[in-house]
């Protein structure tokens, strides 16, 4: 089967215009079918502050009320997604922006209000690959932001890592899917303070051990859960690290193994 | 040739959620290939006010500085476009949102800075129909907002009426294109104060006469210029009026004739 690269970017790669430009320039040169998934970085929080929309948290996790959903939709699907698309076009990477509502690609259920009501947050139910596949065949690169819909007129804020893993799984029957989680660290670190302590390979046994040692950064846990979910569901390759892992053969990163 | 309906909505249809819902419900039922173009109503102005971004005008026309472009991108491509898409999906009208940057569909030149520098405003240079046509063939409805790009990484604010007419012209080799400009009035009015004074047909002679009489609302002039541009360039049918003209055979509207 042909390879399909699915790349998720987040964190400071999106917040820093130069880092984003550099990434998009290298990304454009990647050969073969590819798909990009992005979060919104800190821009949504910045806009919420400017608009005096209070950020509500429960257990450190953000609640998506209707005003926050509006902000997220404007920043993710508008500002960030269209900036990425216009820059990819400049680099002659023909691309098209998506939310999960576009062409009904990602249908979610609004998360149940018990035990905690997170508001307009979606848990992915189904990925429809037909339109994406049609575009990939035309050498067009789909670029997804972290929004899905419930099929009944409601947009939903949805974790970008999960969107990437669910798209990867949905395509694993048609392609050897390679899933890359790109962020500002060089991978899963043995010691969070030391970017040189990258763990080269993690399988389910060493993952259980790491969890037992309470050694993994809290922000890394959902990423790892998504990574294992993908590798356990026919995704060919799952890697976590800096974007350099895609472009430079000598860079360090973490590979997830099942 | 098959018919293709291109429908532009603007004004209060976008500002009033109930009017938008009603329109989208009827639009979803229209048979055959169709394409929607929308502006942003007053929502962009509202957001600019909330963010204390000053609206700069020259001769009553808005200047699109970089902050205004950001706001327009968030409101048009984010909030409004994705609300429309999610509501169309609810109505089982499979649709996908576009700016002109997406799949490089509409390439513009930034308007020259002389005599007046309007900022990040685009004049359309070329419409690429391949991807749109691919989607239409799959019974997917493209929904365009009023943003294009220069192909060199710059998004540009672009008149939605012009986007509709240029897409209509670009498709006129493949389809009998019907172009409908929908807004809050019943058509071009003989007397701006009287919504019953709809002029049923306007051809270039009666248009010249109307212009001479100084009888047309200022806001209608660019719409009429776009309408005549379309009808003079192989577009099959051009109508101006309330959305009802699409759904109710008894409603009044203005037809442009060449």
- Whether B17 contacts A66, CB under 8 Å: no
Question: In this complex, do B153 and A51 lie within 8 Å of one another by their Cβ atoms?
Answer: no
State the pLDDT at residue B179: 98
pLDDT above 90: residue A4? yes
Question: Which residues from chain B sit within 8 angstroms of residue A38, using beta carbons?
Answer: none
With residue B131 as reference, give the H or E element that holds it. Answer: helix B130-137
State the pLDDT at residue A151: 98
Give the angle A245-A250-A256 at the CA atoms, nearest 5°: 45
Which of B38, B81, B82 should be substituted to probe chain A, the one whose Cβ sees the most A Cβ atoms within 10 Å?
Answer: B82
pLDDT above 90: residue A57? no
Q: What value does the mean pLDDT take over residues B212-226?
A: 87
State the pLDDT at residue A55: 83
Averaging pLDDT over each range in A55-64, B189-198, B229-238, which range is the top one?
B229-238
- Whether B15 contacts B42, CB under 8 Å: yes
Residue of chain A minimizing CA distance to B21: A153
Q: Could you give the dihedral angle defined by the CA atoms of residues A206, A211, A214 and A217, in that order, rounded to the nearest 10 degrees?
A: 90
Q: What residues have CB less than 8 Å from A91, skipping those under 6 apart? A: A24, A25, A28, A29
B51 touches chain A (CB under 8 A): yes
Bridge-based pairing state of the strands B106-110 and B122-127 = antiparallel
Q: What value does the mean pLDDT take over residues B155-174?
A: 97
Tell me what percent of the residues of chain A surpass a pLDDT of 70: 100
Of A78, A87, A104, the CB nearest to B77: A78
More confident residue, B160 or A40: B160
State pLDDT tens for residues B89-101. 999 999 999 999 9
Residue of chain B minimizing CA distance to A66: B79
State pLDDT tens for residues A149-197. 999 999 999 999 999 999 999 999 999 999 999 998 999 998 888 889 9
How many residues comprise chain A? 258
pLDDT above 90: residue B59? no
Q: What residues have CB less than 8 Å from B203, skipping those under 6 apart? A: B256, B257, B258
A149 touches chain B (CB under 8 A): yes
Cα–Cα distance measured from residue A66 to residue B76, given in angstroms and rounded to the nearest whole number: 18
In chain A, the domains with their CATH numbers are: 3-256 (3.40.1160.10)
Of A70, A81, A155, the CB nearest to B86: A155
Distance to chain A for B231, nearest Cα, Å: 30
A217 touches chain B (CB under 8 A): no
State pLDDT tens for residues A99-126. 999 999 999 999 999 999 999 999 999 9
**Which stretch of A12-16, A82-86, A106-110 has the lowest confidence by average pLDDT?**
A12-16
């Amino acid at each position: 089967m042909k390879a399909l690269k699915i790349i998720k970017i987040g964190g400071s790669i999106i917040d820093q215009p130069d880092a984003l430009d550099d990434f998009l320039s290298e990304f454009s040169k990647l050969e073969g079918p590819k798909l990009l998934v992005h979060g919104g970085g800190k821009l949504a929080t910045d806009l919420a502050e400017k608009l005096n929309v209070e950020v509500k948290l429960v257990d450190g996790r953000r609640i998506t009320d209707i005003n926050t959903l509006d902000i997220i939709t404007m920043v993710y699907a508008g500002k960030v997604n269209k900036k990425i698309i216009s820059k990819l076009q400049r680099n002659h990477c023909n691309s098209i922006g998506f939310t999960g509502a576009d062409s009904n690609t990602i249908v979610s259920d609004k998360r149940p209000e018990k035990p905690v009501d997170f508001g307009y947050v979606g848990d992915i139910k189904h990925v429809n690959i037909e339109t994406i596949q049609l575009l990939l065949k035309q050498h067009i690169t789909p670029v997804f932001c972290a929004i899905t819909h419930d099929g009944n007129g409601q947009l939903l804020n949805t974790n970008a890592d999960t969107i990437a893993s669910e798209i990867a799984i949905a395509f694993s029957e048609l392609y050897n899917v390679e899933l890359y989680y790109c962020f500002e660290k060089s991978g899963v670190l043995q010691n969070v303070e030391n970017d040189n302590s990258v763990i080269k390979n993690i399988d389910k046994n060493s993952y259980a051990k790491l969890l037992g040692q309470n050694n993994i950064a809290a922000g890394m846990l959902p990423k790892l859960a998504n990574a294992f979910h993908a590798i356990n569901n026919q995704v060919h390759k799952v890697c976590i690290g800096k974007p350099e892992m895609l472009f430079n053969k000598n860079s360090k990163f973490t590979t997830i193994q099942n």
